[in-house]
Amino acid sequence: MPLLVTGSIGIDTVQTPHGRVEDVLGGSAVYFSFAASHYVPVRLVGVVGEDFPKEFRDVLASREIDLAGLEVRRGAKTFRWHGRFDGDMSQAETVAVQLNVLSEKGPRVPAAFADSRSVFLANTHPALQIELLKQLHGPELVVCDTMNLWIGAQRDALLRTLKLVTGVILNDAEARQLTEHMNLIEAGEEILGYGPRFAIIKKGEHGALLFTHDGASAVPAYPSKLVRDPTGAGDSFAGGVLGFLSAEGRSDTVTLRKAMVHGTVAASFVIEDFSLNRVRNLTRSEIDRRVDAFATMLKYG
């Protein structure tokens, strides 16, 4: 079933120990869409400015991504982010950010998208996440992302959002900030008490933890030798997870565990090069081969 995503669409400049790229396609919704589109058709809802390059739109259109919800706002400029990764590249440093169109009103959901059964609310103001949900007709699976800014400054709005979603995906620092628990098992269990049926806590190169009312599960990161640019890894992980769940049409604990393997593999591809360079021509067969190899690694006994 089609999967709707809303989130940032941007123009990035990124520096890592392996080089620098300027004015490349980025944004949470973009990385998510590329990963998820290998499993189901994606409906992209977002807003860009008049400066958004046509070639970037063509890149998005090259995948099974419906751009009817992509608004080009007259008189506005596209969101821009300049980030830097140093050392082990485990943390991004924001050198500069221009919110531009993201500081304006949120995008509208096209009427043709209102029947979407699966939804991913990528990182944005929780009030905007709630506003988007109000435009949909009873989706069955809703998962959200968040960040430290909203946890600190918009906690009440975020908690209202968490009551409305099926699941939440966030990183370890965000989980600790949200719950004030240093122990991630305690943090994950508390997050379930906020309303979601499942929570996934990402731990970067150390994998991810899944929390459901059946208990906790862990999936390691795919052991990647080539890591050139971690930008978009978390959003690609979410895309693999939601894409798989949408294709399966269910989100029980066993299916969630399998989905996390697909998410981990999706992230392992995008980090191999800058921006979307590695994944622009990625095929489903490549993904499936790596999933099979990873599943073999995880077997023991």
Please provide the DSSP assignment of 119-161 as one string: EEE-SS-HHHHHHHHTTSS--SEEEEE--HHHHHH-HHHHHHH
Res 91: pLDDT: 83
Domains recognised in the chain with CATH numbers: 3-298 (3.40.1190.20)
Alpha-carbon distance of 215 to 202, in angstroms, equals 17
Please say whether the beta carbons of 246 and 120 come within 8 A: no
Residue 216: closest CA among 193, 194, 185: 185
**Mean pLDDT within 71-96:** 93
Summarize the confidence of residues 290-299 as an average pLDDT.
93
Of the pLDDT bands very low, low, confident and very high (cuts 50, 70, 90), residue 103 is confident
The confidence band for 72, taking pLDDT boundaries of 50, 70 and 90, is very high
Per-residue pLDDT at 90: 84
pTM: 0.95
Q: Of the candidates 1, 49, 57, which has an alpha carbon nearest to the alpha carbon of residue 30?
A: 57
Q: Across residues 215-236, what is the average pLDDT? A: 95
Q: For residue 165, is pLDDT > 70?
A: yes
Which comes out higher in pLDDT, residue 97 or 50? 50
Beta strands in 220-294 (DSSP E): none
Order of strands across the sheet with 10-16?
Answer: 19-26, 10-16, 79-85, 92-98
- Residue 268, CB half-sphere, CA atoms under 13 Å: how many? 22
User: Cα 82 from chain centroid?
Assistant: 19
pLDDT band at 259 (very low <50, low <70, confident <90, very high): very high
Q: Which of 75, 8, 69 is nearest to 42 (CA)?
A: 69
**Predicted confidence (pLDDT) at residue 56 exceeds the cutoff of 90:** yes
β-bridge partners, 25 = 11
Rounded average pLDDT over 179-206: 96
pLDDT confidence of residue 181 = 97
Report d(CA 179, CA 174) in Å as an integer. 9
Residue 301 confidence (pLDDT): 63
Mean pLDDT of the chain: 95
Q: Is the pLDDT of residue 109 over 80?
A: yes
Q: How far does Cα 163 stand from its chain's mean position?
A: 20
pLDDT tens digits for 133-144?
999 998 999 999
Q: How far is it, in rounded angstroms, from Cα 188 to Cα 215?
A: 10
φ and ψ of 37, to 5 deg: -70, -10
Dihedral angle, C-alpha 286, 121, 133, 47, nearest 10 °: -90
Q: Report, as an integer, the average pLDDT of 78-96.
A: 91
Confidence of residue 257 (pLDDT cuts 50, 70, 90): very high
Query: Rounded mean pLDDT of 239-245?
Result: 98
* Stretch 22-28: mean pLDDT: 96
Find the helix or strand (DSSP H, E) in which 69 lies.
strand 65-73
pLDDT confidence tier of residue 104, bands split at 50, 70 and 90: confident
Cβ distance 129 to 144 under 8 Å? yes
